[in-house]
Each structure stands twice: as C-alpha cells, then as structure tokens.
Amino acid sequence: MKIILLDKIENLGNKNDLVEVKSGYVRNFLICKKSKYYVNYNLIKNKKIKLDNNYNNNIYKYDFKKMYEDILKIKNIIFYKKSNKNGKLFDSVNKKNIINYIISNISYCKSKFIKVFLNKNIKNIGNFYIKISINNTYFINMNIIIKNK
C-alpha cells in the first residue's frame, strides 16, 4: 500500500514522502498512533510527479559552468600548517579542508556539488596535485601548496 506522509514519522520517512508499507502496518500502527497519512492513488501519481519536478528544479538552479570558471580562477590552494623539522605536519589536510577553502572563496558554492579525489590525507609539506569534480560534469586539476607556519 502506498501512502503519503503528512508528518514526519520516525524510521519511516519525512513529510510529503511517498512510502510503500504493508496494509497491516497502516491498520495496526499508523491508525493506533493517530499518525497523519493519506491514500489516494490519483493524488499519489500527481504528488510523485510534483516531487520529482521540485527535486530537479532545486538541483539545476545552480549554474555549474559559472562555478567551474570561478574555481579555475583560484589556481592554487595554499595552507599554512605547523610541522616538525622533517616536514611532517601535526595536523593533516583532508578533503573537508579543501572543500571548506573553496566554499570560503566562492560564496554561492555548496559542498554537496563538489567532490575531491584524494587518495590519502596530506601529511607532509610540499606541492600536491588533486582532482576536483563539480556535479560529476566538470573536472579540475588543482595544485595544493602546504607551507610551514
């Protein structure tokens, strides 16, 4: 049985989610808990189409080409970190640090669209090359420079 949730129900879904549950679950659990749900097959079809359209509109609201061009303008990412005499860092540089650096320079950029390809965390001083993808459509090779503080 397919139902539309009118409220958030724990372990089942959020508001306006289309969920498929067994009819016994609806009779025994949802009715007893007085949870709000709605069953109407024509409405479910329309609701599903509306939800899909809203999802697509929210994703493509961002201009990925402009985001790509703005990230290309950065050219080098420079981090200043503390290190010992051998050049090993006390605090490594990871994907999250790189994404936060990009977001701080480009205000409209969101972290969910950026993916950084980094095999291991960077633990030494020097120059490193990484690959960044934007929404899996645009790819950028970028230079990371880590200097001693």
Predicted confidence (pLDDT) per residue in 92-112, tens digit: 999 999 999 999 998 888 888
Could you tell me the pLDDT band of residue 4, with boundaries at 50, 70 and 90? Answer: confident
Residue 144, token pair as written in the block? 């990371």
Beta bridge partners of 88: 124
Q: pLDDT-derived band of residue 141, with 50, 70 and 90 as boundaries?
A: very high
Distance CA 123, CA 149 (A): 14
**Structural domains for the chain:** 2-59 (3.40.5.10), 64-148 (3.10.430.100)
Across the range 114-129, mean pLDDT stands at: 93
Asked if residue 88 has pLDDT above 90, the reply is yes
In sequence order, the β-bridge partners of residue 13 are 9
For the whole model, what pTM was predicted?
Answer: 0.59
**What pLDDT score does 148 carry?**
93
Average pLDDT (7-35) is 73
- Residue 22's pLDDT band (boundaries 50, 70, 90)? confident
- Please tell me the predicted confidence (pLDDT) of residue 7: 74
135 close to 65: Cβ distance less than 8 angstroms:
no
Starting at the earlier edge strand, list the strands of the sheet with 2-5: 18-20, 2-5, 37-38
**Higher per-residue pLDDT: 8 or 79:** 79
User: What pLDDT, in 10s, does the model give residues 32-86?
Assistant: 665 655 565 555 555 555 555 555 555 455 678 888 999 999 989 999 999 999 9
Q: Give residue 34's pLDDT.
A: 58
**Contact of 123 with 55, CB cutoff 8 Å:** no
